[in-house]
Structure 1
């Protein structure tokens, strides 16, 4: 029986880890401790999952006590991004394995600390990059391993976050770079890890442009330049195009963000000192909502990447070019929020000399393109022995994804290419302040 403690009783913890451990993997796994800064989260968790009523709870300063008392095999880190590094380092110091949500940490300097700590510990780090596990992403990896495209020369990846999901980042703590690292880390590490994994190469250099186009105080869609508003009490919310796109005038919302346990309005919010409905036009917002980046890899491949956090629909367009052919696919995500007809996702393969081949796949159920359930099986039952390639991500993969993400922001800020190796392995030569 493997024992787990949960650091950060977030919505992600409740749904992604606690629920399946209790309901699907309880024969081999058990939760022996909960840790969070907010005691109200313990009450909500135990009310939802009665099996945990007798499980002890701890505050962050009691981390070492929790480890000594519960003797877990794994620490699961699911709190706010800036809390990850402390729990990971303390777990490794206690020789305990770690399963952490992405991003592993919020900057390259801390990523390097994690790699160093892991090298000196009996504990190991797993980063839950569930995008690797998507039905289509695994098939693309297999096609690359089969040599279908030959040596990969370039990849084009354009990612789109719709106005509902995109604006949610600017309502919450994610809009604070000191806490999230900015969206090139909090969100884009998903995408950079996916590319790094497909290529099996290390990123060397990144150059990027970025801007705050849609949100923040100076947005052309800001109905009134006044900071400190909240959607639940705002007197100009019916003049806000983002609010009116997803809500009626009386405030009922037509969809709920899959990242939030709390509702949009104050009366729905169950947590202490947490509001997920801060104004998306606040003056304090300084992170970017648009990026375009180029990344060079040590194996000769090049990536052209863009992401937009205020698009009409959610999804991505991907093309992988190689010496033997090209792979293309387009995904339209969150269908309930797409107001038009769209094609089902397929993979098109174009050999360099020959006819087109279209690959249709059965979409597996579950979050993140069917990736979450398969990731959970690997975590709690062990890696699938029939799979012929490595898919679980470790600390190094987490670190390189963060280094690219920070490199994107630094390139935007400093208007120059950023050397990834220097950023990740020689942090003393880089200005370590992120703000």
Structure 2
């Protein structure tokens, strides 16, 4: 029986880790402790999972006490992004294993702290990059390993976030770079990790452009220049195109919230947390649009873009190699796409031959069916029948964050940014 302590009782913690722990993997896994700075999160969590009523609760300053009293084997880190590094380092200092939500940290410097702590520890770090586990993404990995397109020369990846999902980041703490690293880290680290994993290469240099086009006080969609508004009480929301796209005039609030379960009987907000802050506040300075070029250590080149305010959500991918090309397009959250969308397939084009369209067997579960398979690897151990590595370690987490930091730094400094220089890493331990 392995004992787990959760640091940061977010909605993500409850849905991704606590729920499967108590419902699916209870024969081998036990929730030993909850740690958070807001007691309300404990009551919401225990309301949702009545079987954990006796689980010990600890304030964020009581990490050492929690470890001493509950003796966990693994620390699960699922709090706000900027809190990850301290919990991970403390866990490693106690020789405990760590499972952390992405991003592993919000800066390359903090990734270096983690790597150094892990090198001195008996514990290891696992980063839950669930995009790897989507059946489409694992199929692409398998095609590349089979050599279907030969040596990869370039990748085009264009990611689209719709006005519902995209605006949600600017309603919450994610809009502050010091808390999230900015969206090139909080969100794009997912995408950089996916490419790094497909290629089995490391990013070495990034040049990027970016800007704030849709949100912030200067947005052309801002109905009135005034700070401090909240969607639920805003007196100009009927003039806000973002609000009215997803809500009716009756005022039914419909914002994406990664932290509190909308089905909970406890309707009060968490302490000092609002998921409906105005997306046009003047404090918003992070970018909502990026294009980037990334050079890899074995010669591959990535052309990447992401936009956080588009009419639909999904991505378009093309991977070019010396023997052919792979293409696929995904339309995410079809219920929010305002037109019929085709079933996702993978198209394979040999350099000298006929096109082949590959259909993929889909799975149920979050992140395109990836979450349940990742959970099995986390709570049962990695699948021994799998022929390639998929579970992510500290090196993967570090390079994904460093690539994202290189993006926003390149935007600010208008120059190429060395990923290795950001990491200052002499040696990186890979769990």
1:224-271 Cα deviation digits (max 9, x unpaired): 000100001000000000000000011125x6526352659xx94431
| Other-structure match for 2:323 | 324
Distance 1:426 1:382, change over 3 A: closer
Cα distance in 1, alignment partners of residues 257 and 55 from structure 2: 27
1:48-87 Cα deviation digits (max 9, x unpaired): 1111111110011110111111111100000000000000
The 8 Å contact of residues 263 and 269 in structure 1, kept in 2 or not, is answered as: no
Distance 1:174 1:270, change over 3 A: same
Cα distance in 1, alignment partners of residues 332 and 164 from structure 2: 12
The 8 Å contact of residues 262 and 269 in structure 1, kept in 2 or not, is answered as: no
TM-score where L is the length of structure 2: 0.97
Structure 2, unmatched stretches of 5+, are 427-431
Cα distance in 1, alignment partners of residues 125 and 273 from structure 2: 29
Cα distance in 1, alignment partners of residues 269 and 60 from structure 2: 20
1:124-147 Cα deviation digits (max 9, x unpaired): 000000000000000000000000
Cα distance in 2, alignment partners of residues 239 and 168 from structure 1: 18
The 8 Å contact of residues 256 and 263 in structure 1, kept in 2 or not, is answered as: no
The 8 Å contact of residues 262 and 270 in structure 1, kept in 2 or not, is answered as: no
| Other-structure match for 1:360 | 359
Residue 4 of structure 1 aligns to a residue whose secondary structure is: strand
Shift, 1:305, TM fit: 0.1
| Other-structure match for 1:424 | 423
| Other-structure match for 2:282 | 283
Structure 1, unmatched stretches of 5+, are 428-435
Distance 1:389 1:398, change over 3 A: same
Cα distance in 2, alignment partners of residues 260 and 111 from structure 1: 24
List structure 1 runs of 4+ shifted beyond 6 angstroms: none
Matches within 5 A, 1:139-218: 139-218=139-218
Cα distance in 2, alignment partners of residues 300 and 258 from structure 1: 40
The 8 Å contact of residues 168 and 257 in structure 2, kept in 1 or not, is answered as: no
| Other-structure match for 2:429 | none
| Other-structure match for 1:13 | 13
| Other-structure match for 2:311 | 312
The 8 Å contact of residues 293 and 408 in structure 1, kept in 2 or not, is answered as: yes
Shift, 1:296, TM fit: 0.1
2:34 counterpart of 1:34: yes
Residue 233 of structure 2 aligns to a residue whose secondary structure is: coil
| Other-structure match for 2:85 | 85
The 8 Å contact of residues 34 and 56 in structure 2, kept in 1 or not, is answered as: yes
1:154-204 Cα deviation digits (max 9, x unpaired): 000000000000000000000000000000000000000000000001111
The 8 Å contact of residues 157 and 303 in structure 2, kept in 1 or not, is answered as: yes
| Other-structure match for 1:120 | 120
The 8 Å contact of residues 88 and 98 in structure 1, kept in 2 or not, is answered as: yes
Cα distance in 1, alignment partners of residues 390 and 257 from structure 2: 25
Shift, 1:288, TM fit: 0.4
